[in-house]
Chains A and B, each alone.
Chain A
Amino acid sequence: MTMKIVAGMGSLDDYEDFCEAGADEVFTGYVPLNYMECYGREKPINRREVIYYNVSLGSFSELLILNDMKAALGKEVSIAFNAIALSDSQREEIVEIIRKCIKAGYTHFIIADLKLIKMLEDIDGIFIEISGELGEPNHLLFDELSSKNLSRFIFPRQSSIEEIENIISLNPNKKMEYEAFLLNEKCHFTGAYCNSVHCDELCHICKVPYKVKGMEIGRNIEETTNIPGETGCGLCALWDLRKAGITHLKLVSRGNSGEETVKDIKTIKEALKILDGAKNKNDYIANMKKRIFPLGCSHNCYYTIDKEDK
């Protein structure tokens, strides 16, 4: 089965282009105005916490319009409510927001908070995707998670292929889908354990200058080269990810320009085409690198892979 491309979207104006480029699904955020007013930027509802970028849909009318587009173009839209530090009052508020989203025609939600997942248990007809921001995954987690609404597990960025394969094989829920990060924004730290701020006026904490005592290493100087996946890439791992049981591939792109995301979707699409025609892993990697990275790749790898087929 071909793995599906899930693209992050910051504005509904990009939805049609993403669908045409080959995205199978799209995910976005929704932050009502009154929520912003009440909780501000300090208690975000999802993991895109800036305000001077288009990273989430900002109004209910946008949700309604996007739903019409969804009905016309047929590509599912998931809405992220995957903030990791929620108070009880925020959880109650989010449940009501989700109910509004359901009325607007949405059924797929990305959630990182287990208490919030429990509060949604009694709502029929929804599909909860467990966000990678939940924390270090292991198969012991699935022995407990039994809500009928759980449809997908999103592995966090820092997951090895071996771990992914093992967890999937040991999950008693054989209907679950699995999503893995594929392109862009390979963070230095684990999202679930990132308590630092992501706001407009401060850079991410992982970009604060640093050095190692006694070693001549400083802040990474990021040079833009415009090659696919320069901030994080898992394209070489597609063979292994498919073998491990991954069904969906995450393209991190909320806040990126629509044009860049379209390019990324097409890149992934091409890689998947090469994958479908490949005889073995080495064949896939060689052909993919030749076509997509003729001048070399970023070496900013999401996954460490064995070059040899097992």
Chain B
Amino acid sequence: MIPFSICGAIVKLIYEQNHIMQEEYLEVRILDLSTKSFSFRLPKGYLKGKQIDSLEIKFYSFEPKKYLTLFVEKESFTISLLKEEKYYDLYEAYIFCKDFEAYAGMLSREYLDYIDYKLNLSDEELSNKMCDYPLNEEDDFSQGRREIEKAFFENENNITDAGKLEEVFKVKEIGILLENRQLIADFMDKPFDKFIEDYFDRSYATNHPISKALIKRIYIGNPYCLLLFPKKEVIIALIEKAKALGLEVTIVLAPVSEMKVTEVISDIDYIFNKHSMGKLELQVNDWGSYYHFRKSINVTKGLLLHKGRKDPRDKYRGIKSELLSRGEKEIFFPFYQTNTSTFCCLNALVTKNDRGKSCRVEACEGYCSRYEILYPKHLNMVGNYNSILAFDENFVSDIISMDSKAERLVINL
């Protein structure tokens, strides 16, 4: 049977009701297809008193990835009842139309090609056949986040292209995401100017306009993993330092699992009661936390609550999607999230040698500070924490095109 999505038809039925001619358009599934005919089925007795007046047949063409539509008027087809099955009546439509022959032939070839690729090729080979996915590059692994950053920021073409970034920086509030223990420690321990200098230098970005950002806000916490949420006393200390520096603060909560709810509520209540900041904001990444905290605190929705198609391999399919991760008020860049696992897959890899054997981690060993999951270089992605993050090489133009969707930009090197 032909898969439904690649070929279907809409039949126009006409019938008389109360002496008035009626029209009905009914989608039907095409079951079998040849260059001369197709079979389809209708509920039992559905055609009683009705005639099929015309057919609109849709064929999915893989190139150019759209449906080709063929209208067939009643002079150009015949319908015959093939069989009365238990729950439906099976029909055959015989089409006298050269275009039908051509389209049906095209579809059959493409579908059979797909089956052939699926049965006989590796994933990489199939992808190479069906889109521009590169062959023989899957064993060329990147060396992790720093290498990805270095390759981008030390490329002079990327520096000259990013002049527009400085213009954007002038009109947006710029923040930095302190998403791990090292960044938090650095922020606390170093003078702010030194922290910023080292932050961009570590990512090889010193000569890139991104390093010219005037940081006005810090985001404290990891949006993906709750185990990286700092202790409440540390957060209070961070807030105090930020206040002294004239920085605004957003506290970031990863999705809160059920058994952590009581502890998190207590910590957030403590923080929001104890801090001396004028405006403190909480960003959450699960709906339960959003509904709970919005009753009493300034809450925004984080990037895991703003979903969208984000895959570095889409470029090979010729698809341009909005890659950068978005929160309610901000765009995070240059890394964007593609996948997150609430059961830490890195922990599973390190402790059980199998990424799939993950479970809820209670006592975190902090493997994410020591290990990264590496992927093929051409994908610009890395496994950090419990997530896959990819680097958007077009982040400058993407920020500009997403401009209206955010009042802030948050750097997440």
Residues of A whose CB lies within 8 Å of any CB of B are: 11, 13, 16, 31-33, 36-37, 40, 42-43, 50-54, 56-62, 64-65, 68-69, 72, 84-85, 114, 134-144, 156, 158, 160, 162-163, 166-167, 186, 188-190, 192-197, 199-203, 205-215, 217, 220, 299-301, 304
What is the distance, in angstroms, from A160's C-beta to the closest C-beta of chain B? 5
- Chain A residue numbers with a CB within 8 Å of B288 are 136-144
The one of B3, B67, B355 in contact with A52, judged by C-beta atoms closer than 8 angstroms, is B3
A135 touches B259 (CB 8 A): no
B317 touches A61 (CB 8 A): no
The one of B6, B26, B339 in contact with A194, judged by C-beta atoms closer than 8 angstroms, is B339
The distance in angstroms between the C-alpha atoms of A114 and B307, with both chains bound, is: 13
Q: A189-B340, A215-B371 are in contact. Are A42 and B321 (CB under 8 A)?
A: yes
Considering the complex, give the chain B residue whose CB is closest to the CB of A300: B356
B4 touches A58 (CB 8 A): yes
A209 touches B126 (CB 8 A): no
The one of A52, A195, A209, A217 in contact with B337, judged by C-beta atoms closer than 8 angstroms, is A195
The distance in angstroms between the C-alpha atoms of A136 and B133, with both chains bound, is: 33
A163 touches B257 (CB 8 A): yes
- Chain B residue numbers with a CB within 8 Å of A31 are 4-5
A144 touches B291 (CB 8 A): yes
B131 touches A201 (CB 8 A): yes
B292 touches A135 (CB 8 A): no
What is the distance, in angstroms, from A172's C-beta to the closest C-beta of chain B? 13
**Chain A CB within 8 A of B255 CB:** yes
- Chain A residue numbers with a CB within 8 Å of B194 are none
- Chain A residue numbers with a CB within 8 Å of B88 are 65, 68
Q: Which of B6, B126, B138, B286 has the most CB of A within 10 A?
A: B286
B1 touches A190 (CB 8 A): no
A58 touches B313 (CB 8 A): no
A201 touches B317 (CB 8 A): yes
Number of B interface residues at 8 Å Cβ cutoff, please give it. 94
What is the distance, in angstroms, from B310's C-beta to the closest C-beta of chain A? 4
Contact with A along B369-396 (1 / 0, CB 8 A): 0011111100100010001100000000
- Chain A residue numbers with a CB within 8 Å of B291 are 140-141, 143-144
- Chain A residue numbers with a CB within 8 Å of B292 are 140, 143
A195 touches B4 (CB 8 A): no
Considering the complex, give the chain B residue whose CB is closest to the CB of A53: B3
- Chain A residue numbers with a CB within 8 Å of B143 are 213
What is the distance, in angstroms, from A194's C-beta to the closest C-beta of chain B? 5
- By secondary structure, the A interface counts as loop
What is the distance, in angstroms, from A133's C-beta to the closest C-beta of chain B? 9
- Chain B residue numbers with a CB within 8 Å of A206 are 339, 355
The one of A53, A200, A220 in contact with B130, judged by C-beta atoms closer than 8 angstroms, is A200
B87 touches A166 (CB 8 A): no
B289 touches A140 (CB 8 A): yes
- Chain A residue numbers with a CB within 8 Å of B387 are 193
Q: Which 9 A-B pairs have the closest CB atoms?
A: A58-B4, A140-B288, A136-B255, A201-B130, A51-B5, A59-B27, A193-B340, A144-B291, A141-B288
**Chain A CB within 8 A of B206 CB:** no
- Chain A residue numbers with a CB within 8 Å of B87 are 16, 65, 68-69, 72
- Chain B residue numbers with a CB within 8 Å of A199 are 317
The one of B5, B255, B311, B350 in contact with A58, judged by C-beta atoms closer than 8 angstroms, is B5
- Chain B residue numbers with a CB within 8 Å of A220 are 354-356
The one of B41, B133, B304 in contact with A65, judged by C-beta atoms closer than 8 angstroms, is B41
- Chain B residue numbers with a CB within 8 Å of A194 are 338-340
**Chain A CB within 8 A of B139 CB:** yes
Q: A61-B27, A189-B339, A203-B127 are in contact. Are A197 and B309 (CB under 8 A)?
A: yes
The distance in angstroms between the C-alpha atoms of A301 and B110, with both chains bound, is: 38
The distance in angstroms between the C-alpha atoms of A141 and B286, with both chains bound, is: 9
**Chain A CB within 8 A of B174 CB:** no
**Chain A CB within 8 A of B79 CB:** no
What is the distance, in angstroms, from B386's C-beta to the closest C-beta of chain A? 9
A195 touches B308 (CB 8 A): yes
- Chain B residue numbers with a CB within 8 Å of A196 are 309-311, 313, 338-339, 388
B317 touches A138 (CB 8 A): no
- Chain A residue numbers with a CB within 8 Å of B270 are none
Considering the complex, give the chain B residue whose CB is closest to the CB of A67: B43
**Chain A CB within 8 A of B319 CB:** yes
**Chain A CB within 8 A of B258 CB:** yes
The one of B28, B41, B44, B372 in contact with A212, judged by C-beta atoms closer than 8 angstroms, is B372
Which residues of chain B (322-342) have a CB below 8 Å from chain A? Answer: 337-342
* 15 pairs from A and B in contact (CB 8 Å cutoff): A31-B5, A33-B58, A36-B5, A43-B309, A54-B3, A68-B88, A137-B258, A188-B355, A189-B339, A192-B307, A201-B126, A201-B130, A201-B131, A208-B375, A212-B372
What is the distance, in angstroms, from A254's C-beta to the closest C-beta of chain B? 12
The distance in angstroms between the C-alpha atoms of A61 and B42, with both chains bound, is: 6
- Chain A residue numbers with a CB within 8 Å of B311 are 195-197, 202, 205
**Chain A CB within 8 A of B202 CB:** no
- Chain B residue numbers with a CB within 8 Å of A163 are 257-259, 360
The one of A135, A139, A214 in contact with B255, judged by C-beta atoms closer than 8 angstroms, is A135
- Chain B residue numbers with a CB within 8 Å of A56 are 4-5
What is the distance, in angstroms, from B412's C-beta to the closest C-beta of chain A? 16
B373 touches A195 (CB 8 A): no
- Chain A residue numbers with a CB within 8 Å of B379 are 208
- Chain B residue numbers with a CB within 8 Å of A40 are 65-66
A205 touches B313 (CB 8 A): yes
The one of A33, A51, A68, A84 in contact with B27, judged by C-beta atoms closer than 8 angstroms, is A33
**Chain A CB within 8 A of B169 CB:** no
Q: Which of A36, A65, A193, A202 has the most CB of B within 10 A?
A: A193
The distance in angstroms between the C-alpha atoms of A214 and B40, with both chains bound, is: 57
**Chain A CB within 8 A of B314 CB:** yes
Which residues of chain B (38-78) have a CB below 8 Å from chain A? Answer: 40-44, 46, 58, 60, 65-67
- Chain A residue numbers with a CB within 8 Å of B258 are 137-139, 162-163, 166-167
B257 touches A136 (CB 8 A): yes
Considering the complex, give the chain B residue whose CB is closest to the CB of A163: B258
The distance in angstroms between the C-alpha atoms of A175 and B337, with both chains bound, is: 37
What is the distance, in angstroms, from A240's C-beta to the closest C-beta of chain B? 14
A59 touches B4 (CB 8 A): yes
Considering the complex, give the chain B residue whose CB is closest to the CB of A201: B130
The distance in angstroms between the C-alpha atoms of A84 and B224, with both chains bound, is: 17
- Chain B residue numbers with a CB within 8 Å of A166 are 258-259
The distance in angstroms between the C-alpha atoms of A120 and B406, with both chains bound, is: 29
The distance in angstroms between the C-alpha atoms of A74 and B131, with both chains bound, is: 44
- Chain B residue numbers with a CB within 8 Å of A162 are 258-259
